[in-house]
Amino acid sequence: MNTAETIVLGLIEHGIDTLYCLPGVQNDPFFDALHAHTAKLRPVHTRHEQGAAYMALGAALASGKPQAFCVVPGPGLLNAGAALATAYACNAPVLALAGQIPSSAIGKGYGLLHEIPDQLAILRGLTKWAERVTGSNAFSLVHEAFQRMANGRPRPAGLEVPMDVWGHTGSDFSSERVSPAKTELDLEAIKTAAKILGSAERPLIMIGGGALGAGAEVREIAEMLQAPVGAYRNGRGVLDSRHALSVSLTAAHRFWADADAVLAVGTRLQMPQQSWGLDGKLKIVRVDIDPEELARVQPPAAGICGDAGTVLKGILQFLPAVNKKRPFRSGEIQKIKGETGKKLKDTLAPQAAYLEAIRAELPEDGIFVDELTQVGYASRLLLPVYSPRTFLSSGYQGTLGWGLPAALSAKVARPDAAVVSVSGDGGFLFNAQELATAVRHRIAVVAIVFTDDAYGNVRMYQRQFYGGRVIASDLVNPDFVKLAESFGVLGLRASSPDELKTSLKKALSSNQPALIEVPSGEMPNPWPFIQMPRCRAPS
C-alpha cells in the first residue's frame, strides 16, 4: 500500500465518511487513490478552500464528530487558514490535510508551485498538533492526529504530505492502535466543588461548548441548586431555552452581580470574569477538559479537569448531602427573565421580529447558523435554542463568511434537519461561490441575507465613536435573488418579518438550496446588550 491509499483508509478507519476538499496537482495521487473508495469516503469539493475548511468545521460542530478537509499547499492552505483559526476557537476536531512541495525542495526556496516558507510552522500555529508525513509513518500520524483531537480539548490537527511521499510504499497500516488515555478525576476537588455549590445562597451556572455532551447533568445540578443557567454562544441549547432555569446572557449578567457561587462548565468564562468583574465574595467552580483554562484569568475556588459530563456526575454524587435548603427561585428568575427579555425585544425590535419568524418556521431540531450580522448578534440573546448543536456560531473568531459553508456541512452531517444561516450583505459575499457547491451536491439549506448596503457594524462604530466619519464601509450589492437564480438556487425576497416567515416556509418545503434576501436596512445597535458593564465592585 502506498501513502495515498494508507491515508484514505486511515481516514475511513477513523470514521470520516465525507472529505471536504479542493484538489490540485500536489495532491493528485491522493485523489486518485480515493477514487476506489468513494462509497465510504465521499469527496465534497468546493469552489474555494475557505469553503472546504468551513464545511469540515460546520460538520464537526453539528455532529460532534471529527471531520477532515484536504487542500493544496501554500495558497490552498492559507485560504483555509481563517476556518482553521475558527475551528481552534470553537474547539472543533477538524483535520487539515495539506499537500506540500517535494520533500527534497522543502526549505530551499526554489520557488516551486505553491511553495511558502515553513508551511508546517503555519499549520502548527493554527492547530493543536501538526506533522509532516515522510513515508511509512503515514498511518501512525493519521492515527495520532485523531488521538490528539479526541484527547483533551478537541481542537484541529494538521498533516502535510510532500508530493513525492504520496507514492511511497511500505505503509505502516498494520501498526498498533493506541487507545485514548484516561484522565484521573480529582475527587478532593469534586468534594470541595460540591460543598461550595451546596452551601451557596445564590448560585449561578455558566456553560460553554465544553458542556455540549453534558445536558442531562447540567439540568440535574441546576434543578438541585435552583440555579439559573446562562450561555453566550457555543453552550446554547445545552439547557433547553424553554426550561424555567435557562436564562439569556443579559439575565445571567444580572444574576452574576449578586451570585455567591458560580459553576462554570466547559466555558472560558472570559466575558464574565474580565468584563462583569470578580470580587472576594464570589466563589468560582471551574470544570474544564483543558487544565490551562481552569486558572487562566484567576485561580478558581475549585478547579476540576475532566470531561464535563463525568465531572458533573461526580459532583452530583456528593451534592445532595451538602446541599442547603434554598427557596424556589423560580419567581425571581421569571421576573428577571421577563424584565431583561422585554428590554431586549423592545430595543432590538426588528432583530427580534426576524428571529421570531425564523424560530416559528425552523423545526425543533432545526439548525441555526449565525454570522457577524445584526440579526446574528441578536440571536445570541433572543433566539430560543432547544437542543445542543442546533445553534452554530464562529465563537470568538467571529469570522465573516463562515455561515453559508458551515450551514451546508451541518446539513450534510444531519441530513434530516432543516438548516438556516443568517448573514449580512458583507459577510455573505465572502463565500457566496459555495451556492454552486450547494447545487452540485444537492444540499438543501436556506441562506438568509440581510442587506443594509454596508459593513453595517463597522459603519455603526464609525458613526458612534469616530465623529460620524464613515469610511470604507459602504457596499454596492448585486441583486441577491438574481444571484441565487444564476446558480440554480431558489431565490426569494422578503421585505418584512411576516414575509420572511412565508418565504422561509416555502424555502424549507422546497427541499432545495434557497436564498432569501431581506432588505432590512440599518438595525438598532445590539452591542450594549453584549458588552455589558462591570457589575461587581473590585475588592
Where do contacts with ligand TPP occur on this chain (CB under 6 A)?
82, 372-374, 398-401, 424-427, 450, 452, 454-458
| Min dist. Cβ of residue 156 to ligand TPP (A) | 17
Taking the least distance from each CB to ligand TPP, the nearer of 377 and 487 is 377
CB-wise, 304 or 383, nearer to ligand TPP? Answer: 383
Sign of the four-CA dihedral 121, 124, 125, 126: positive
Angle, CA 351 vertex, CA 345 and CA 356 arms, to 5°? 75
Residue 169 makes CB contacts below 8 A (sequence gap 6+) with: 1, 2
Question: Could you tell me the smallest distance in angstroms from the CB atom of residue 389 to ligand TPP?
Answer: 23
CB of 51 to ligand TPP, least distance (A): 14
- Residue that is written with C-alpha cell 498538533 in the block: 129
CB of residue 374 to ligand TPP, shortest distance in Å: 4
What are the two backbone dihedrals, phi and then psi, of residue 526, each rounded to the nearest 5 degrees? -85, -10
Q: Do 54 and 406 form a contact (C-beta atoms < 8 A)?
A: yes
Distance from C-alpha of 230 to C-alpha of 252, rounded to nearest angstrom: 5
Rank residues 350 and 388 by Cβ distance to ligand TPP and give the closer one: 350
Which residue's CB is nearer to ligand TPP, number 12 or number 458?
A: 458
Pairing of strands 261-265, 246-247: unpaired
In whole angstroms, the minimum distance from the beta carbon of 10 to ligand TPP comes to 32
Nearer to ligand TPP, 312 or 372 (CB): 372
- Least distance (Å) between residue 305 CB and ligand TPP: 32
- DSSP assigned state of 72: -
CB closer to ligand TPP out of 424 and 513: 424
Which of 330, 326, 320 shows the shortest CA–CA distance to 202?
A: 326
Spatial distance between the Cα atoms of 501 and 497, rounded to a whole number of angstroms: 6
Q: How many CA atoms lie within 13 A of 56 on its CB side?
A: 38
Q: What is the chain's Cα-based Rg? A: 24
CB 288, min distance to ligand TPP, A: 26
Q: Are 218 and 497 in contact (CB under 8 A)?
A: no
Which one, 126 or 204, has the nearer CB to ligand TPP?
126
CB of 376 to ligand TPP, least distance (A): 7
Smaller CB separation from ligand TPP, 82 or 227: 82
Whether the CA torsion 372, 373, 375, 381 is positive or negative: it is positive
Cα(521)–Cα(503) distance, rounded to whole angstroms?
A: 18
Q: Cβ of residue 452: shortest distance to ligand TPP, in angstroms?
A: 5
Among residues 69 and 455, whose Cβ is nearest to ligand TPP? 455
- The β-bridge partners of 18 are 42
Region at 12 (left for phi over 0; alpha for psi -120 to 50; beta for the rest):
alpha
